[in-house]
């Protein structure tokens, strides 16, 4: 019988709930073995909701549990590097939420540590694993919309004032760029590459010094461009598109699309649908498990180099706009 991957979850926030719900709806080739929160009460409540046998009141306890194979890290952005280091030092395989770290230097250091400890590690950029993107790659390769000339992506949402305070908190590395701008940059990189020649940007900074809106223009040596916008407290349709000399492909809800629309010039448009098995999270989970079972320490789909490159783009944007987090200025 195939060995089940035993998952531990660090944090009990919204995205951790989404992860747990997904695992519960997948097949039985894995199990949720433990959850940790900063308080034992929250951990126990989370564990009871999802039938998890172990609930820890500290992250250190979960990291030290010898019966955990992989840890899903869903803590605030500012804590990712510390929490990944904790898990890696205890020999745990890691799937860490976006953004992987606060900056590219942190990301490179974490990947190096994982290599030294011979454990698997990957950023949870679930977009890259969505099945319909394999169809989109095929369509582009076949030249159905000609040569790609430009790309566009936008994503913005509105939340309660209380949640907005947390989402924009500079002490948590908040703001639109790191929170969801990573989606737009990742989308652009998937189709235009991870090495833009130039980045032009404007961040609409709020009263606490983080960005409520991020606007970016990427220029590539090929002449291709990407126009990207992300916002918190401004609702934008979650939409992406790739434009070519012979048509376009529209990607509604580009961060996890179940379908795309193809508009070849002079021909009837058509839709390609790939319904999810669960909700879209399952594909990155399977990738992690497949890599672990086959002794791989990195993914060939979402590579360390790609993660570091996107973090580097965000470093450039922050530098261009003078956005520095309090814990950075104290270093």
For the cut 90, the answer to whether the pLDDT of residue 3 exceeds it is no
Spatial separation of the C-alpha atoms in residues 284 and 130, rounded to whole Å: 8
pLDDT at 39 over 70: yes
Helix (H) or strand (E) holding 73: strand 70-73
- Section 315-323 average pLDDT: 98
In contact, 249 and 139? CB cutoff 8 Å: yes
pLDDT score of 1: 55
Q: What is the mean pLDDT of residues 260-288?
A: 98
> What percentage of the chain has pLDDT greater than the value 70?
99
Q: Is the pLDDT of residue 213 over 70?
A: yes
Report the predicted TM-score, pTM, of the whole model to 2 decimal places: 0.96
Burial of residue 302 (number of CB atoms within 10 Å: 0-12, 13-18, 19+): buried
Query: Is residue 109 over pLDDT 70?
Result: yes
Q: What is the mean pLDDT of residues 246-259?
A: 98
The pLDDT score that the predictor gives to residue 331 is 45
User: What is the distance between the alpha carbons of residues 266 and 49, in angstroms, rounded to a whole number?
Assistant: 53
Architecture of 5-125 per CATH?
3-Layer(aba) Sandwich (3.40)
pLDDT band for position 330 (cuts 50, 70, 90): low
Q: Which CATH number fits domain 131-275: 3.30.360.10, 3.40.190.10, 3.20.20.70, 3.90.110.10?
A: 3.30.360.10
Q: Inform me whether the pLDDT recorded for 322 exceeds 90.
A: yes
Which pLDDT tens digit goes with each residue over 47-97? 999 999 999 999 999 999 999 999 999 999 999 999 999 999 999 999 999
| Ranges for all domains in the chain classified under CATH 3.40.50.720 | 5-125
Give me the pLDDT at residue 28, please.
85
140 membership: H or E segment, kind and range: helix 132-141
> CA 184, 188, 190 angle in degrees (round to 5)?
115
Domain ranges in the chain with CATH number 3.30.360.10: 131-275
Work out the average pLDDT over 259-267: 98
Rounded to 5°, angle at Cα 74 from 69 and 79: 105
pLDDT average, residue stretch 128-148: 98
């Amino acid at each position: 019988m195939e060995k089940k991957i035993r998952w531990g979850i660090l944090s009990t926030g919204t995205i951790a709930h989404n992860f747990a719900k997904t695992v519960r709806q997948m097949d039985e080739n894995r199990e949720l073995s433990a959850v940790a929160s900063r308080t034992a009460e929250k951990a126990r409540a989370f564990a009871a909701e999802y039938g998890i046998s172990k609930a820890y009141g500290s992250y250190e306890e979960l990291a030290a549990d010898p019966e955990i194979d992989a840890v899903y890290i869903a803590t605030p952005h500012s804590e990712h590097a510390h929490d990944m280091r904790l898990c890696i030092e205890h020999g745990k395989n890691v799937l860490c939420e976006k953004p992987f770290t606060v900056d590219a230097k942190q990301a490179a250091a974490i990947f190096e540590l994982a290599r030294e400890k011979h454990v698997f590690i990957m950023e949870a950029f679930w977009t890259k694993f969505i099945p319909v993107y394999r169809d989109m790659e095929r369509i582009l390769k076949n030249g159905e919309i000609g040569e790609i000339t430009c790309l566009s992506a936008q994503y913005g949402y509105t939340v309660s004032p209380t949640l907005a305070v947390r989402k924009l908190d500079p002490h948590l590395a908040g703001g639109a760029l790191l929170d969801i701008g990573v989606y737009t940059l990742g989308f652009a990189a998937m189709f235009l590459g991870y090495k833009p020649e130039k980045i032009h940007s404007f961040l609409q900074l709020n009263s606490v010094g983080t960005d409520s809106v991020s606007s970016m223009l990427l220029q590539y040596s090929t002449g291709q461009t990407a126009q990207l916008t992300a916002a918190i407290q401004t609702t934008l349709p979650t939409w992406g598109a790739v434009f070519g000399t012979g048509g376009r492909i529209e990607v509604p809800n580009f961060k996890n699309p179940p379908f795309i629309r193809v508009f070849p010039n002079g021909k009837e448009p058509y839709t390609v649908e790939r319904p999810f098995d669960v909700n879209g999270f399952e594909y990155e989970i399977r990738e992690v498990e497949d890599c672990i079972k086959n002794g791989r320490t990195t993914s060939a789909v979402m590579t360390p180099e790609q993660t570091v490159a996107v973090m580097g783009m965000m470093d450039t944007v922050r530098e261009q706009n003078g956005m520095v987090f309090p814990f950075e200025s104290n270093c």
